[in-house]
Amino acid sequence: MRRIFELIGPPLLVLVIILGLWSLAVRLLGIPAFVLPSPEQVFETAIIESDRLMSGFRNTLVASTVGLLAATVVGVLGAIILSTSRVLERALYPWAVVLQTVPVVALAPLFVLWVGPGFVSVVLVAFIIALFPILANTLMGLVSTDPALIDLLRMQGAGRAAIFRKIRLPNSLPYFFTGMRISAGLAVIGTIVGEMVVGRGGEKAGLGYYVVFSATQLKTDFVFATIIVSTGLGIAFFLAMVGLSSLVMGRWHESELRPST
């Protein structure tokens, strides 16, 4: 209990100080609410708009999850395929790097042309942004195996399948989860960006949609409330990945479970 307090105490204190200064500045300087609302106002709006925030949260959560799952499936399968052949890796991996550097937001209008605005387009943006870290890290884990161990297994007549199952796959797990931690955050960002650009309003509106929608109406307090909820979602995704990785990897390689940053 004491340890927990020591851990979250200092940052919490900083938060309180910042909120205090913020509130004070807004009052003393007479900043108009559409430029910078006070924290109390943001809080109030969050309560009033809690229905829309909740449904936005749900919609963004669903789109992020679907995008991340798709990126995981494609990323892992892609990494496995690339890891089986040096030629394939040489031919395809550079394109994965190129794909990563294409500004996805610029692609978004194309998605709209192809599948129309809304859920599928949003998920596509999240998927593309989240794909690369999973693919790259898993691939790294699959190929960066101890050559001596592979020699050892070969000497006992082990084939590629056995080496894959006993060495490559387990070896790639920590790398995979490193990728997942990065991609989880990116999937949320991708979803929100997607919602801002190709999202739709109404019942299916996500948090990104509400950011744009309320900004154009100068409801800056609502913008802030949405940003805070979005941040919460991002953190939740990250923590879920940390939890999942320690659940799966359990007792081995504790050092690799800790985020490096």
Partner 1 sequence: MTANQAAHTVDIFIYESNVGHAIEKVVVTDSDIRSDRIRVAIRDLEKRFSKDVVALRGINLDVQEGEFVSLVGPSGCGKSTLLKLVAELDYPTSGNVARPGIADLPGSIGFVFQDAHLLPWRTVHRNVELLLEIQNLSVNERHRRAKEALAHVGLEGFEDAYPRQLSGGMKMRVSLARTLVLNPQLFLLDEPFGALDEITREKLNDDLVELTRSSGLTTLFVTHSVSEAVYLSNRVVVISDRPGTIVDEISVPFNERHRSLRNTQEFVNTCAVVTEMLYRGMEK
Residues near partner 1, by CB under 8 A: 146, 148-149, 151-158, 162, 166-167, 170, 173, 249, 251-253
Q: Which is nearer to partner 1, 15 or 149 (CB)?
A: 149
Q: Which is nearer to partner 1, 13 or 152 (CB)?
A: 152
Cβ-contact 176, 248 below 8 angstroms: no
Cα–Cα nearest to 136, from 87, 80, 179: 179
As measured in angstroms, the least distance from the Cβ of 224 to partner 1 is 45
| Three-state SS at 243 | helix
Dihedral sign of CA atoms 146, 151, 152, 156 in order: positive
As measured in angstroms, the least distance from the Cβ of 248 to partner 1 is 11
Q: Which is nearer to partner 1, 120 or 257 (CB)?
A: 257
As measured in angstroms, the least distance from the Cβ of 240 to partner 1 is 22
DSSP H helices, the chain, are 2-29, 39-48, 50-84, 86-101, 104-115, 119-143, 147-155, 160-163, 169-198, 207-216, 220-249, 254-257
Q: Which is nearer to partner 1, 216 or 260 (CB)?
A: 260
As measured in angstroms, the least distance from the Cβ of 170 to partner 1 is 5
As measured in angstroms, the least distance from the Cβ of 77 to partner 1 is 22
Q: Which is nearer to partner 1, 11 or 157 (CB)?
A: 157
- Cα separations (Å) of 218 from 86, 173, 228? 54, 47, 17
As measured in angstroms, the least distance from the Cβ of 173 to partner 1 is 8
Q: Which is nearer to partner 1, 40 or 146 (CB)?
A: 146
Q: 10, exposed or middle or buried, with CB in 10 Å at 0-12, 13-18, 19+?
A: exposed
DSSP type of residue 52: H
Q: Which is nearer to partner 1, 30 or 147 (CB)?
A: 147
Q: 159, exposed or middle or buried, with CB in 10 Å at 0-12, 13-18, 19+?
A: exposed
As measured in angstroms, the least distance from the Cβ of 21 to partner 1 is 47
* End-to-end C-alpha distance for the chain, whole angstroms: 25
| Three-state SS at 36 | coil
Tokens of 233: 């979602």
